[in-house]
Structure 1
Amino acid sequence: MDELIDILDADGNMTNTTAMKSEAHKNGWFHQTVHIWFYTSDGKILMQQRGKEKDVYPLLWDVSAAGHIGAGESIITSAIREVQEEIGLHISPSDLKKIGVFKSIHNHSETLKDYEFHHTFIAELKSPFSSLKKQESEVESLELVSIKQFGKAIKNISTFKYVPHEISYYKNIYREISNRVNSK
């Protein structure tokens, strides 16, 4: 779905311009996204398998919920909206713990360039897994994987079935969720 988004400079600052998402991707203009990683108190991470019709990385495993931040939309509002749309879960701002903003550059083709700043959050999944409702057009499947399994996966690139974010990004997610679970 095409939508109007804010355009950023290469340092992540607002440029006070907007464009359609398709135009930003065509021209390699920086923009914002949200990534929300859910974990359970017993040490599992909710993974989303991307839909088979996605333009990039179809059927690879990825963050629990993610999406573009609409023009003028707050980061928190976007995060709450994406979680509700993609996995059918209603959360509040207090459920989200921001762990960073990560710059990401992927040139998929001449006409598809993802130049993004991922505003990244973790949140405890307090609802039963069975209550989640995947967005059919975006999500192929949902799965809970152990933190240990996730840690092994990000170390073994040859069998990597996840979207190819930077390994440092995945290590940050692993560390933050591990710290949260181990502190309980």
Structure 2
Amino acid sequence: MINCRKIMELHLDGVSQRTISASTGHSRNTVSAVVQRAKSRGIQSLNDTMTNTWLNEFLFPEKQAMEKGYYPVDWEKVHKELQKKNVTLKLLHHEYATAAREGKKIPYVYRTFAEKYGNYAKKYKTTMPIRRKPGEIMEIDWAGSTLTIQDRATGEDIPAYLFIATLPYSQCSYVEAFLDMRSPNWLTAHIHALGACRRQWFLIT
């Protein structure tokens, strides 16, 4: 295994790649590959969670996959695809697994696929945890793509709009479709959501 952690520590301290090569026993090409891959992945500093194993998997996921006999994943492509409308990680895993089997390779199961993507995506996350109290607030909105329902009498497709309400502390959610987003349905949705979450609360307690 490449000593990525040591290479990056020396590089970030301003040590030349020639000296890093001599210190770690890795070729200058290997040192250069680690430094360039880290640069492209946005690593500008190290923290305690960036162990040598983590760095190897983060910087060279395709190599780790092939060494273990798995079909490699282009995580940057996965990340970009997830920015598109209606694209989910589940869908991308299905496409990946299909390509793997067509190529006579072993695909990662979804759980591993999701875990590895989560590790990769950490570099994009600049978040601050928000402390919530049980029952303090409810987050609500019209969300997702417009759906359609079919009129049984005429066969006509009628637009349907999704209302979603979530209690962020418990992640208890309520979803209901309406034929429009006007005030009467907006108010009705709130009443139904509050009733549903109240019943859920009684079931939990």
TM-score bin, normalised by smaller chain: under 0.3
Q: Which structure has more helix as a fraction of its residues?
A: 2
Which one scores higher on RCO, CA 8 angstroms, separation ≥ 6?
1
Structure with max Cα Rg: 2
TM-score, structure 1 length as denominator?
A: 0.25
Q: Which structure has more strand as a fraction of its residues?
A: 1
TM-score, structure 2 length as denominator?
A: 0.23
